[in-house]
Chain A
Amino acid sequence: MDDVLQRIEQEIPRLRRYARYLRREPDHADDLVQECLSRAIAKINTWQPGTNLRAWLFVILRNCHINEIRREQRVVSLDDDTPANEPTLTVPGSQETRVALAEVRNAYLSLSEEHREVLLLVAIEGLQYEEASAILEVPLGTVRSRLSRARQALRQALDAGLGAMTGPGRRTAEKSHG
């Protein structure tokens, strides 16, 4: 038990990154992680040793997020003046790296949420397709094709120089032209 708890503790940084992507606001993201950890311990017996603990935790985290969204949809939000669709993934590093990464970041944020999430799980977190399939609750083939399309979209966004702009803004602009 303690060994598993230790491993869960080691996953907290990645849970925080995933939550930050899902929740946008850092404080709420940590609340989500906290909720996830509580539930994970409560149902620790359902985790099968030998399977990917991170993927198991991501399933719980995502479910917490979905539940939270449903709850929030039933109440009027009084404090949310954060711009929508803007996950708080920031870009560290040296000046040059920052510029290059900023382009990737903005191109990434220009993608649809579906594409961003599959890239986050597979390309960023390095999960297997099967694990992403379980987390996203879609068939394996869908993960594969969605991932392929996401990569193409990212490539196109980078080629088109979307990285120089904030993603959601550009997407809105494109829609308004169309």
Chain B
Amino acid sequence: MAERNVFRDEQIQDYIDGRLNERDRAAVAAYLLARPRVAAEVEAIRRQSEALMALGQEILDEPVPEHLRRVLREHPASSRGGLEPEAPRAMHRPIGRLSSFLEAAAAILVLCAGGAIGWFAHGVVHPAPSPEDMFLADMRRAYAFYGARDYPVAFPPDRAEEFVTWIGRSFEREVRPPDLAEFGYSYRGGRLIPSASAEIGLFQYERPEDVRLAVFFWTTAAPLTVVRALYDRDNIAGHFWTTNGLSFAVISDRANRDLETAAKAIFAFYDKSVRPRRPA
């Protein structure tokens, strides 16, 4: 292997990976031409690399799952994001783990009194074809129920700090209502909503022209940060995401064209301010 001394292994490797300038490349090529044994080794590594490139090719050939494309289209930080009322209603697969999504959907279902329990059982016992439909439908009910102008809030704005303390006890971390004054919203107050699987926090906002906005939040086991735009066929729209073990849904009237902007701000606010749960 004395002939290898002229070029170091590193240079041979640089040659294989196309990292040499034209002059050095030509020098190595000439060197290899005169030394078939080294050239054969180089060729073997080349073939090896070519074979490696085929590994996982079938993954590249797979169609990109729609739910991954939607992350790019619907993220609050994306300029393309947001709701597209004219688009056909697309049902993508629940993000994260289905069980945690169902858990969240179930939690919202329990918001509704009476027959809601039946729906809950239905969603859990049978495979839900579109958990998002259930989730949205019941989020809409909760939004309408608690968002009605004459429905009293448990913690009005002047008791905001007290509410944050209550939230801290239930959620083992601080979750504050975001200031949405720059979007024209005033904070109307909030409440904690007990449910079978988790407590849900609700901050309510309104604008003078009768535009309402609600921020729901609850603890979730889903570890990932996921963001989705939700819209309902009828009258509500929203954004949903999970970060640091806390899920958020920002819901408003579908006609509210500023929802996306507000959702971006709320996302940014909680992205910075939500800390992991305090150990018990």
Contacts and interface: CB of A to CB of B under 8 A. Distances in A.
Contact of B51 (A5, A17, A100): A100
Given A12-B68, A122-B17, A90 B58 contact: yes
Given A108-B52, A144-B10, A155-B44, A37 B19 contact: no
B21 interface: no
Nearest to B224: A35
Given A35-B226, A39-B225, A151-B45, A123 B80 contact: no
Interface residues of A, number: 52
Interface size on B, as a range, is 35 or more
Interface in B11-51: 13, 17, 19, 44-45, 48-49, 51
A71 interface: yes
Interface in A122-171: 122-124, 126, 128-129, 144-145, 147-148, 151, 154-155, 158
Nearest to B55: A89
B60 interface: yes
A155 B10 contact: no
B59 interface: yes
A178 interface: no
B55 A101 contact: yes
Interface string B227-249: 10000000000000100000000
A105 B68 CA distance: 27
Interface stretch (B71-79, B142-150, B185-193, B202-210): B71-79
B56 A89 contact: yes
Contacts of B95: 31, 34
Nearest to A42: B77
